[in-house]
Amino acid sequence: MKKIHVRYYALLREQAGKSEESLATEAGTPAALFSELHTRYPFTLSMQQLKVAINAEFRDWQTQLKDGDSVVFIPPVAGG
Amino acid sequence: MTFQFTDKDIDIAALRKELADPSCGGYCSFEGLVRNNNEGHNVTRLEYEAFTELAVKEGHRVIDEAVAKFGIARAACVHRIGSLAIGDMAVWVGVSSGHRDEAFRACRYIIDEVKHRVPIWKKEHYVSGDSGWVNCERCAEHAHDPHPQHAHQG
């Protein structure tokens, strides 16, 4: 089991009902982690609509997660 | 060359002064303001939220790209976070360069890329009392639509 820190923003924050959490997971990639979280929270955005950041850098969905990583799922952005 | 967030009014005079450069004959800026309507809805206010740690890095990358691409001398961008009223300035971009053409082009490049790439979100509050995250709510409704008719960003 790895310990992963997840932060939620915008629509995902509201749907998760929290800004962040630390969780123990068997998920090896952010894609697997999102699938796991999707069963727990009523997320309406699909993985195809999101990007993912690990330790505050954009990463591929198949990147290998390491113990202690910080993950953020990024909904479609709307600055400006 | 800076990209930063603020939860206070954007002080254009101070920012403009920081971009002053005696070798530059052109200065161009863009101000993005909160509009009272969006896609047929009457908007009362906006809330901005950012993943600041990554957003500041990505914002700096956008500015560095503009410098490399257009050969401008200086550029900066400031974005608001928090709750904004109609008419408030949500984002400001400023560019100084030798001549006007690259100043206009770099300014346009920076605001376009910031809107497209930097992890910032806005929630609109409507006259009806309803609210919604821009680019997220209707996208979610159409998540299984094989032929989406609208862009997700921009």
pLDDT digits (tens, 9 = 90+) for B76-116: 999 999 999 999 999 999 999 999 999 999 999 999 999 99
Please tell me the predicted confidence (pLDDT) of residue B141. 54
Flag if B51 and A80 touch (Cβ within 8 Å): no
pLDDT at B138 over 80: no
Pairwise CA distance, residues B25 & B129, whole Å: 48
Are B126 and B43 within 8 A, CB to CB? yes
Can you tell me the ipTM of this complex? 0.96
Best probe of the A interface among B48, B54, B57, by most A CBs < 10 A, is B54
pLDDT surpassing 60 at residue B63: yes
Give strand pairing partners of B51: none
Of B97, B109, B123, whose CA–CA distance to B44 is shortest? B123
Structure tokens at B63: 């500015």
Q: What is the mean pLDDT of chain B?
A: 91
pLDDT for the residue B139:
58
pLDDT band of residue B140 (cuts 50, 70, 90) is: low
Quote the mean pLDDT of chain A.
Answer: 98
pTM here is: 0.92
Q: What percent of chain A has pLDDT over 70?
A: 100
Exposure string for B110-119, b = 16+ CB within 10 A, e = fewer: bbebbbebbb
The pLDDT of A26-50, averaged and rounded, is: 97
In which element (H, E) is residue B55 found? helix B52-70
**Number of other residues whose CB lies within 10 A of the CB of residue B141:** 10
Cβ–Cβ of A53/B143 closer than 8 Å? no
In this predicted structure, the answer to whether residue A20 has a pLDDT above a threshold of 90 is: yes
Report yes or no: B41 and A41 within 8 Å, Cβ to Cβ. no
- Identify which of B54, B118, B133 has the shortest CB distance to residue A11: B133
d(CA A21, CA B50): 18
Question: How far does Cα B141 stand from its chain's mean position?
Answer: 26
Residue B148: its pLDDT value, please?
41
Mean pLDDT along residues B110-139 = 93
> Residue B151: its pLDDT value, please?
40
Half-sphere exposure of B92 (CA within 13 A, CB side): 20
- CA distance linking residue A31 with residue A47, whole number of Å: 8
